[in-house]
Amino acid sequence: MALTGLDIYKLLPRTNCGDCGVPTCLAFAMKVAAKQAALDECPHVSEESQEAAGAASQPPQKLVTIGSGDRALKIGNETVMFRHDERFHHPCGIALLVNDTDDLDARMETVRSLSFERIGQIIDVDTVALNCASGDGEKLQEAAGRIQTELSLPVVLIADSADKLRPAAEGLSDGRPLLWERGGPSDALVELAASAKLPVVVEGDLEKCDADTQKAKGAGVEEMVLCPGEVSPLETLQFLTVTRRATLRRTYRPLGYPVLVRAWAQDPVQQSLEGCHYVDKYAGIVVLEVDSPEYVLPVLVTRQGIYIDPQVPVQVEAKVHEINNPTETSPLIVTTNFSLTYYSVLGEVEASRVPARILTVDTKGTSVLTAWAADEFGPEQIKDAIEKSGVFDQLGEGYRKPIIPGLVAVISGELREELEQEVIVGPKEASGLGRFLNNEWPKLVG
Ligand code: SF4
């Protein structure tokens, strides 16, 4: 039977030392009860308590770490079927397929280039799936070593036998590569993974995965990643869904591991679409062969969207943002600190080529109308933000005329009184800003 937060709390030292990364023992107990943490993440919990809690205190899906250092990839440990139930915790890895016979410098440059900024966050290819196309384990090791050193990214090593994986697995074990023996793992690979303490891919249909994970666990392999192999997109989605349901709804631990899938379609658009579907439906790692931005970016954007915490609005810092080197005669645009709002405004201002300042008011990351309705974006808050930022000191006499969104034109009169300055009502949508700044603004200050 599942333990409650209070049951788990009674097993803890109750010193509130914070060494587990959570401020109190009660908060930590709640996380364990919600399957978001394992009891042994408390370094002070006694063996007796661990035994008493047993398997009930372990998250149903294993957390698997691939790679090391800042860019290590942590996948699994998910707790819900649907993002809106709570959130997804560990973003899946997006891996680019590289052959050890490729021009490695060129391929690494391609991986580096697949990095983009979107709503203030960097989204990029964060894993390399390195295939032993040469059939030579030493060559695989050499290529993997270069990728680990020069890109500092986690590596999935792919070969058709444990022998070919052995040199890289033993020589580069500090970098924690994921070992993928096609159709495996064989007994030899299980032995290798157990002795090197490395994660391993278990490939096959559900029955085979069920049997193989139990065998590998019995042999001492702790971290595993399931893989349905080369099957159709429909079968891949079925595999992803069934394993997630078995893990979360029935706490069936032999399938309680993250899943690696490859988008096999040859057509690049189809492959990109497959990748997006797999990201949405529970994949732990998606391997792509396509390497052009137009095919990879949609997959990265899908991952960014699905792994954002739906309960925490994405926001930018509340401050004055200077665009196109503004002067004391440049316009001051006022908006909220909701990321999507800010980046929509920013894009239009940059495209207009008009030097300007954007003042983002702290509305806890809500959009203009939502913030206004919640009393977070009214005359008082805007006046307060202007005064705290000191932005009027950067503007000449006659140019201290904040431009507010047309959606909240209703507050312009009150704001004018608060500021004792003229207030300009701008366009309702950010898309109107370019024309407004180039055509209307000069007349309003001229
Ligand atoms: S490390 Fe253990 S004892 Fe310390 S606060 Fe966390 S749960 Fe409590």
**Which residue owns the Cα nearest ligand 1 atom 7?**
25
Q: At what angle do helices 206-218 and 233-250 cross, to 10 degrees?
A: 50
Atom of ligand 1 nearest to the CA of 21: 6
In three-state secondary structure terms, 129 is strand
Q: Could you state, in order of their start, the residue ranges of all structural domains in the chain?
A: 5-57, 63-307, 320-445
Atom of ligand 1 nearest to the CA of 25: 8
For 7, 233, 261, the CA distances from 239, given in Å and listed in that order, are 35, 10, 10
Strand partners for 322:
357
pLDDT at site 283: 98
For 74, 92, 128, 247, 437, the CA distances from 154, given in Å and listed in that order, are 10, 12, 6, 26, 47
Q: What is the tens place of the pLDDT at every residue in 294-314? A: 999 999 999 999 998 888 888
Per-residue pLDDT tens digits of the chain, which is 446 residues long: 567 888 889 889 999 999 998 999 999 999 888 777 888 889 999 888 887 776 666 778 999 999 999 999 999 999 889 988 888 999 999 999 999 999 999 999 999 999 999 888 899 999 999 999 999 999 999 999 999 999 999 999 999 999 999 999 999 999 999 999 999 899 999 999 999 999 999 999 999 999 999 999 999 999 999 999 999 999 999 999 999 999 998 889 999 999 999 999 999 999 999 999 999 999 999 999 999 999 999 999 999 999 988 888 889 999 999 999 999 999 999 999 999 899 999 999 999 999 999 999 999 999 999 999 999 999 999 999 999 999 999 999 899 999 999 999 999 999 999 999 999 999 999 999 999 999 999 999 87
380 lines ligand 1 (CB under 6 A): no
Residues whose CB is less than 8 angstroms from the CB of residue 308 and which lie 6 or more positions away in sequence, other chains included: 314
Supply the DSSP symbol for 202: E
Before 405, cis peptide (omega within 30)?
no
CB pairs under 8 A, 24+ apart, for 115-120?
A: 116/293, 116/297, 116/300, 118/301, 118/304, 119/304, 119/314, 119/339, 119/340, 119/343, 120/314, 120/316, 120/339, 120/343
pLDDT at site 58: 72
257 lines ligand 1 (CB under 6 A): no
C-alpha 55/C-alpha 174 separation (Å) is 29
In 51-171, the DSSP E strands lie at 63-66, 73-76, 93-99, 115-118, 121-124, 127-131, 155-159
pLDDT at site 237: 98
254 CA to middle of ligand 1, Å?
Answer: 29
269 lines ligand 1 (CB under 6 A): no
Q: Under a CB-based contact definition with an 8 Å cutoff, are residues 354 and 423 in contact?
A: no
CA-based nearest residue to 299, from 154, 158, 120, 92: 92
11 lines ligand 1 (CB under 6 A): no
8 lines ligand 1 (CB under 6 A): no
16 lines ligand 1 (CB under 6 A): yes
17 lines ligand 1 (CB under 6 A): yes
42 lines ligand 1 (CB under 6 A): yes
**CATH 2.30.42.10 assigned to 63-307:** no
**Which residue owns the Cα nearest ligand 1 atom 8?**
25
13 lines ligand 1 (CB under 6 A): yes
pTM: 0.79
215 CA to middle of ligand 1, Å?
Answer: 34
C-alpha 136/C-alpha 334 separation (Å) is 61
pLDDT at site 430: 94
Atom of ligand 1 nearest to the CA of 28: 7
Q: What is the tens place of the pLDDT at every residue in 53-79? A: 766 667 789 999 999 999 999 999 998
Q: Under a CB-based contact definition with an 8 Å cutoff, are residues 169 and 179 in contact?
A: yes
**Which residue owns the Cα nearest ligand 1 atom 4?**
17
**CATH 3.65.10.10 assigned to 320-445:** no
60 CA to middle of ligand 1, Å?
Answer: 22
**Which contiguous run of DSSP H or E holds residue 295?**
helix 293-307
46 lines ligand 1 (CB under 6 A): no
**Residue 25 CB-density burial (10 A; 0-12 exposed, 13-18 middle, 19+ buried):** buried
Class (C level, CATH) for 5-57: mainly alpha
C-alpha 251/C-alpha 245 separation (Å) is 9
Question: How far, in whole angstroms, is CA 284 from its chain's centroid?
Answer: 12
